[in-house]
């Protein structure tokens, strides 16, 4: 899962970034409203954690702008504003959830995971594609009732393709999603990950378009 954290309090930002990275998530971060809008409109995220009070552009203004552009990435508003009217305003402008400071990191993480699950599968915590069953709770994948042994990157790649089903995702999109801001990776790593995933789930499930990328058709 790739998360953008937008928070102008450097201590909170560092705390959240470290906490999510220790759990294995890819994290981008910003403490400036205008920069945050640029990141959201330029890159693809699974979850956005968005502070209300920011320099240059407020969280509410960012939320309004991205929803007007039909960017539907789930957003958790994280703010010191705890009045009912403030919560209603945030939800009215398109926030998916709302947490007041101070907060529990475990609860924030649980809410982020819940929103991510909902964005992939609106009906349950499992996804079925042909003879594959993905359990989002246990992070396991079964093929015809036999559990497959996937690496973390293979599992994340499968979820990324499923989330973008029937759409072609490029090598650069995969690299950004799975490796984020890590040092440059050899493009062969992506091909090897695709190759190994295909061997485990099915050669025919992941379609490739030369020079364009990969997709799962359902």
Are 101 and 32 contained in the same domain? yes
DSSP string spanning 86-130? Answer: HHHHHHHTT-SEEEESS--HHHHHHHHHHHHHHHH-SS-SEEEET
Burial class (CB in 10 A: 0-12, 13-18, 19+), 17: middle
Predicted confidence (pLDDT) at residue 3 exceeds the cutoff of 90: yes
Burial class (CB in 10 A: 0-12, 13-18, 19+), 33: buried
Are 103 and 18 contained in the same domain? yes
Given 101, 120, 139, which residue is the final one in a domain?
A: 120
DSSP string spanning 27-79? Answer: EEEESSHHHHHHHHHHS--SEEEEESS-SSS-HHHHHHHHHHTT----EEEEE
Query: How would residue 185 be classed by pLDDT, with cut points 50, 70 and 90?
Result: low
Residue 208 near residue 174 (C-beta atoms within 8 A):
no
Q: Is the peptide bond before 102 cis (omega within 30 degrees of 0)?
A: yes
Mean pLDDT confidence for 172-187: 74
Residue 29 near residue 36 (C-beta atoms within 8 A):
no
CATH number at 97 reads 3.40.50.2300
Are 114 and 154 contained in the same domain? no
Are 116 and 8 contained in the same domain? yes
Q: How many domains does the chain have?
A: 2
| Tens-digit pLDDT profile for residues 102-136 | 899 999 999 999 898 888 765 568 888 888 999 88
Are 148 and 96 contained in the same domain? no
Are 25 and 88 contained in the same domain? yes
> Domain range holding 155?
126-216
Q: How many CB atoms lie within 10 A of CB 35?
A: 16
Mean pLDDT confidence for 11-30: 93
| Tens-digit pLDDT profile for residues 76-99 | 998 887 677 777 888 888 899 999
- What is Dmax (Cα atoms) for the chain? 53
Are 7 and 115 contained in the same domain? yes
Given 120, 140, 155, which residue is the final one in a domain?
A: 120
Sheet containing 132-135: give its strands across: 126-129, 132-135, 140-143, 146-148
Are 101 and 202 contained in the same domain? no
Are 35 and 61 contained in the same domain? yes
Tokens representing 98? 């709302």
Are 29 and 91 contained in the same domain? yes
Find the radius of gyration of the CA atoms of the chain. 18
CATH number at 193 reads 1.10.10.10
Given 120, 155, 180, which residue is the final one in a domain?
A: 120
């Amino acid at each position: 899962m790739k998360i953008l954290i937008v928070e102008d309090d450097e201590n909170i930002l560092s705390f959240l970034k470290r906490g999510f990275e220790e759990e294995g998530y890819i994290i981008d971060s910003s403490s400036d409203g205008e920069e945050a809008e640029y990141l959201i409109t330029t890159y693809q995220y699974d979850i956005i954690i968005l502070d209300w009070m920011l320099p240059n552009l407020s969280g509410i203004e960012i939320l309004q702008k991205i929803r007007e552009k039909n960017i539907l990435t789930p957003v958790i508003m994280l703010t010191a504003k705890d009045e009912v009217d403030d919560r209603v305003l945030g939800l009215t402008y398109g926030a998916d959830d709302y947490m007041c400071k101070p907060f529990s990191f475990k609860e924030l993480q649980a809410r982020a995971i819940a929103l991510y699950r909902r964005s992939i599968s609106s009906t349950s915590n499992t996804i079925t594609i042909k003879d594959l069953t993905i359990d989002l709770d246990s992070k396991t994948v079964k093929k015809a009732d036999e559990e497959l042994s996937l690496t973390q990157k293979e599992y994340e790649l499968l979820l990324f393709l499923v989330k973008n089903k029937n759409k072609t995702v490029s090598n650069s999109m995969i690299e950004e999603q799975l490796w984020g801001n890590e040092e440059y990776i050899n493009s062969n790593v992506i091909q090897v990950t695709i190759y190994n995933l295909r061997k485990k789930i099915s050669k025919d499930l992941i379609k490739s378009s030369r020079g364009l990328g990969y997709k799962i058709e359902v």
